[in-house]
Amino acid sequence: MSARNEIEDTAAYWLSRRADGLSSEEQARLDAWLDASAEHKTVFWRLEFVWEKTGRLVALRGPDSLTEVIMEAPPPATPRRVLTHWVAGLAAALAVVVLSSTALLWPQPAQYATDTGERRLVALSDGSRVELNTETRLRAAMSPDSREAWLDKGEAYFDVAHDASRPFTVHMGDRTVRVLGTRFSVRRDGDKVQVLVAEGRVRLSGSKVDPASRPVVLVRGDVATGLGASVLQSRTSDQRVDDQLAWRRGLLVFDQITLADAAVEFNRYNQTQLKVLDSQTAAIRIGGSFEAANVEAFVRLLQSAYGLEIDRDGEIVKISE
């Protein structure tokens, strides 16, 4: 019996625990354990190497497996999608008739929207709460047997009330996120979609037009970015999750991102638009946390700390070296 056996046990235990999500105190303990020796780290990585491979087994999951049963609601009696497409193809007069009948079957979704720089908290009738970030449009329809929301644009943080009999679905273009009860944020920018899981588990289904795309299950700390037919999945630390959700407190937290990216972020929240003139300036790295609405403070910082040239033209602020 060697010390290695004990180390492997400890590493395997932590790996399994981490997949459920660690508190920041637990994460600190794991980090301390990993940093304690090169042996801990390599043992942990070796198990993680295989752990990640087992995750790919999801691809083999059959259609009647347990998760499907838990997560998929029974299909609606009349497929809404077919109906919607049908409506689009019909003459206006006919459409009116059909629309009124669909309106009877499905309550009109409630609409929620925010302006530039605005944040809004929405309480849905099922007990779920949604926080809308700047320039966001969301529709939601709660019925006795389904919970659905459509993110037309922008960014929203969902705190979904648990209800095993009524999965909560968020549609973003042809992608959908389906959950029972959990916390996550979604961001949509045209057909680019990003999902970040803060707690629990969500399932992201690919675009319907591509039958080969398989749903992915995301857990706490997972970030999935979908663009076109592809989905990029990555993991992030608890700290990064907090940073990415800092907008809920009106903050932008940058971890050494380029000034070009920082400008894009600020521009989402303000009428004043930052414009970086040259590529050298655009590549400057920015770190720190900033008030999203206080673009003036950010501009002053660029001027004083980075020595950049600021040139104002109405609502446009031009930045150069």
Partner 1 sequence: MVEDDELKAWFFREVFPLEAALTRFIRRNWRNESDVADLRQDIYTKVYTAAQQQLPLQARAFLFTTARNHLINTAKRAKIVSFDLVADLEASFPEAMSADLDRQLTARDELRRVQAGLERLPSRCRQVMTLRRVEGLSTKEVAAHLNISVSTVEQQMVHGLRALTDYMMGGQGRIRRSPPKTSVAKSESRS
Binding site for partner 1 (CB under 8 A): 1-6, 8-9, 12-13, 15-17, 19-20, 37-39, 41-43, 45-47, 49-51, 53-61, 65-67, 201, 217, 219
CB 232 within 8 A of CB 263: no
Least separation in angstroms between CB 221 and partner 1: 13
In the complex, minimum distance from the CB of residue 30 to partner 1, in angstroms, rounded to a whole number: 13
Answer whether 163's CB lies under 8 Å from 147's CB.
yes
DSSP 252-307: EEEEEEEHHHHHHHHHHH-SSEEEE-SHHHHT-EEEEEEETT-HHHHHHHHHHTS-
Tally the residues of the chain: 321
Nearest CB to partner 1, comparing residues 204 and 276: 204
Say how far apart CA 132 and CA 35 lie, in whole Å: 39
Distance of closest approach, residue 25 Cβ to partner 1, in angstroms: 18
* Nearest to partner 1 of 45, 306 (CB atom): 45
Name the residue nearer to partner 1 (CB basis): 8 or 242: 8
Smaller CB separation from partner 1, 62 or 144: 62
Provide the CA 237 distance to its chain's centre, in angstroms.
Answer: 14
Report residue 308 CA to chain centroid gap: 33
CB of 50 vs partner 1, minimal distance in Å: 4
CA pair distance 52, 65, nearest whole angstrom: 21
Of 60 and 209, nearer to partner 1 (C-beta) is 60
The distance of closest approach from Cβ of residue 7 to partner 1 in the complex, given in angstroms and rounded to an integer, is 8
- Min dist. Cβ of residue 10 to partner 1 (A): 9
Provide DSSP, 29-51.
Answer: HHHHHHHH-HHHHHHHHHHHHHH
**Considering beta carbons, is residue 142 or 223 the nearer one to partner 1?**
223
